[in-house]
Structure 1
Amino acid sequence: MTGKHLHREFVTIKRMLIKISLAASLVSLEAPAFAADAPKTEKVASWQDLRQQLRATRNFRLGAPFNFKILNDGSRVLYQKTTPPSTAAAVYAFNIKDGSESKLLDADMLSAGEGPVSAEERALRERLRLMTSGINFFASDPSGRYILTPLKGKLFVWDTELKKASEIAKGKGSIFSPKMSADAAKVAFVRESNLYVTALAGGAVKALTKGGSEEKSFGVAEFIAQEELERTDGFWWSPDSKTLLYEEVDQSRVERLSIADPFRPDAEPQRPFYPRPGKVNAKTRFGFVSASGGATTWIDFGSEEFEYVSTVRWTKNGPPTFLLLNRLQNKARLVSADPKTGKTKIILREEDKAWVEVHNSIPIWLADGQGFLWLSDASGSRQLEHRDVNGKLLTSFVLPKLQVKDIQGVSEDSKSVFVEVAVDGSHASLIRINLNDGSFKTVGAEGKETVSANSKFEYGLYVARETSVDGSDKTYLRSIDGKAEKIIPSAAAEPVLKANVSLQTIGPDQVQTAIVRPSNFVKGKKYPVLERAYGGPSSLMVRASGRAYLEDQVMADAMDAIIVRMDTRGTPDRGREWEKAISRKFGSLPVNEHAEILKLLCKQFPELDENRIGVFGWSYGGYFTAYAVLARPDVYKAGVAGAPPVDWLDYDTAYTERYLGLPTTDKEAYESASILPLVKSEKAKKSPRPLLLIHGTGDDNVFFFNSLKLVDEMERQALPYEFLPLMGMTHIVADEALDSRRFERTLEFFRRHLGTKP
Structure 2
Amino acid sequence: MYFLKSVFFFVMGTGLFVTNSFSEQEGSSHQTKDKNLSIERMTTSPALGGSSPRNVKFSPDGVRVTFLRPSAVDYKILDLWEYNLKDKSVRLLVASSSITGGEEKLSQVERARRERMRITSGGIVSYSWSKDGKKLLFPLGGDLYQYALKSGAVGRLTISEEFETDSRFSPQGNYVSYILDHNIHMVDATSGKDRQLTTSPSPTIKNGSAEFIAMEELDRDTGYWWSPNEKYIAFIQFDEAPVEIGQRYEVNRDDFKLLQERYPRAGTNNVTLKLGIMTVKTGKVKWVDLGKDQDIYLARVKWLPDNSGVFFQRLNRAQDRLDLIFADAKTAKVRPVLTETSKYWVNLQHNLEFIRNGKEFVWASERNGFNHLYHYTIDGKLIGQMTDGDWVVTKILQIDEAAGEVYFSGHADTPIEHHLYRVKLSDEKVTRPLRLSKAKGWHKFVFSEGANDYIDYFSDPGTPGQVSIRNSAGELLSWVDENTLTQGHPYFPYMADHIVPDFGHFKGPSGDDLHYRIYKPSHMIEGRKYPVIFALSSG
Per the shorter chain, which TM-score range? 0.7 to 0.9
Please list the CA deviations of residues 48-80 of structure 1 after superposition, one character each: whole Å capped at 9, or x if unmatched: 426444333697456221112222323322211
Instruction: Tell me which residue corresponds to 1:501.
Output: 501
Aligned-partner Cα distance in 2 for 1:108–1:298: 44
459, 472, 477: which one aligns with 1:480: 472
1:221-240 to structure 2, matched below 5 A, reads 221-240=210-229
Instruction: Tell me which residue corresponds to 1:208.
Output: 197
185, 189, 196: which one aligns with 1:196: 185
Instruction: Tell me which residue corresponds to 2:37.
Output: 49
Identity %: 22
Instruction: Tell me which residue corresponds to 1:294.
Output: 283
CA contact (8 A) 2:46 2:72 kept: no
Aligned-partner Cα distance in 1 for 2:403–2:262: 43
**2:466 aligned with 1:465:** no
1:351-390 to structure 2, matched below 5 A, reads 351-359=341-349, 361-390=350-379
CA contact (8 A) 1:410 1:416 kept: yes
The letter of the residue matching 2:94 is L
Instruction: Tell me which residue corresponds to 1:578.
Output: none
Aligned-partner Cα distance in 2 for 1:75–1:194: 36
Please list the CA deviations of residues 699-725 of structure 1 after superposition, one character each: whole Å capped at 9, or x if unmatched: xxxxxxxxxxxxxxxxxxxxxxxxxxx
Please list the CA deviations of residues 588-623 of structure 1 after superposition, one character each: whole Å capped at 9, or x if unmatched: xxxxxxxxxxxxxxxxxxxxxxxxxxxxxxxxxxxx
SS in 2 for 1:224: helix
**2:232 aligned with 1:249:** no
Aligned-partner Cα distance in 1 for 2:384–2:324: 18
CA contact (8 A) 1:60 1:493 kept: yes
**2:84 aligned with 1:84:** no
Aligned-partner Cα distance in 2 for 1:152–1:17: 30
502, 516, 524: which one aligns with 2:519: 516
SS in 2 for 1:92: strand
SS in 1 for 2:118: coil
Please list the CA deviations of residues 632-683 of structure 1 after superposition, one character each: whole Å capped at 9, or x if unmatched: xxxxxxxxxxxxxxxxxxxxxxxxxxxxxxxxxxxxxxxxxxxxxxxxxxxx
Aligned-partner Cα distance in 1 for 2:111–2:368: 41
**2:340 aligned with 1:347:** no
Aligned-partner Cα distance in 2 for 1:165–1:514: 47
Please list the CA deviations of residues 106-127 of structure 1 after superposition, one character each: whole Å capped at 9, or x if unmatched: 2244468977544432211111
SS in 1 for 2:213: helix
Distance 1:257 1:413, change over 3 A: farther
Aligned-partner Cα distance in 2 for 1:254–1:91: 39
Distance 1:122 1:263, change over 3 A: closer
Based on CA coordinates, which of the two structures has the bigger radius of gyration? 1
Aligned-partner Cα distance in 2 for 1:172–1:407: 40
Distance 1:173 1:528, change over 3 A: closer
Instruction: Tell me which residue corresponds to 2:155.
Output: 166
CA contact (8 A) 1:471 1:499 kept: no
1:266-665 to structure 2, matched below 5 A, reads 269-305=258-294, 307-316=296-305, 319-359=309-349, 361-411=350-400, 413=402, 415-422=404-411, 423-436=413-426, 440-446=433-439, 448-454=440-446, 458-471=450-463, 473-482=465-474, 484-489=476-481, 493-494=490-491, 496-497=494-495, 498-507=498-507, 509-522=512-525, 524-537=526-539
Deviates more, 1:78-87 or 1:491-500: 491-500
Instruction: Give 1:295 shift.
Output: 2.0
Instruction: Tell me which residue corresponds to 1:67.
Output: 55
1:60-139 to structure 2, matched below 5 A, reads 60=48, 63-86=51-74, 87-110=76-99, 117-139=106-128
Distance 1:304 1:390, change over 3 A: farther
CA contact (8 A) 1:192 1:212 kept: no
Please list the CA deviations of residues 126-165 of structure 1 after superposition, one character each: whole Å capped at 9, or x if unmatched: 1123232221221111343211112221111111111112
1:661-680 to structure 2, matched below 5 A, reads none
The letter of the residue matching 1:130 is I
The letter of the residue matching 1:461 is D
Distance 1:245 1:61, change over 3 A: farther
Aligned-partner Cα distance in 2 for 1:455–1:49: 37
Aligned-partner Cα distance in 1 for 2:105–2:446: 31
The letter of the residue matching 1:515 is I
CA contact (8 A) 1:138 1:149 kept: yes
Ranges in structure 2 where 5+ consecutive residues have no aligned partner: 11-28, 484-488
CA contact (8 A) 1:81 1:89 kept: yes
Aligned-partner Cα distance in 2 for 1:283–1:17: 42
Aligned-partner Cα distance in 2 for 1:324–1:414: 33
Aligned-partner Cα distance in 2 for 1:143–1:329: 41
The letter of the residue matching 1:528 is Y
Instruction: Give 1:208 shift.
Output: 0.9
Aligned-partner Cα distance in 1 for 2:249–2:218: 28
Which structure dedicates a bigger proportion of its chain to strand?
2
Please list the CA deviations of residues 511-533 of structure 1 after superposition, one character each: whole Å capped at 9, or x if unmatched: 322222211123x3312241422
Instruction: Tell me which residue corresponds to 1:620.
Output: none
TM-score normalized by structure 1? 0.61
SS in 1 for 2:43: helix
**Number of equivalenced pairs:** 504
Aligned-partner Cα distance in 2 for 1:172–1:98: 42
SS in 1 for 2:245: coil
CA contact (8 A) 1:418 1:457 kept: no
Aligned-partner Cα distance in 2 for 1:469–1:345: 48
Deviates more, 1:189-198 or 1:255-264: 255-264
Distance 1:408 1:58, change over 3 A: farther
Ranges in structure 1 where 5+ consecutive residues have no aligned partner: 19-40, 538-758
Aligned-partner Cα distance in 1 for 2:37–2:102: 37
Please list the CA deviations of residues 446-476 of structure 1 after superposition, one character each: whole Å capped at 9, or x if unmatched: 5x33323255775332112222233354221
TM-score normalized by structure 2? 0.84
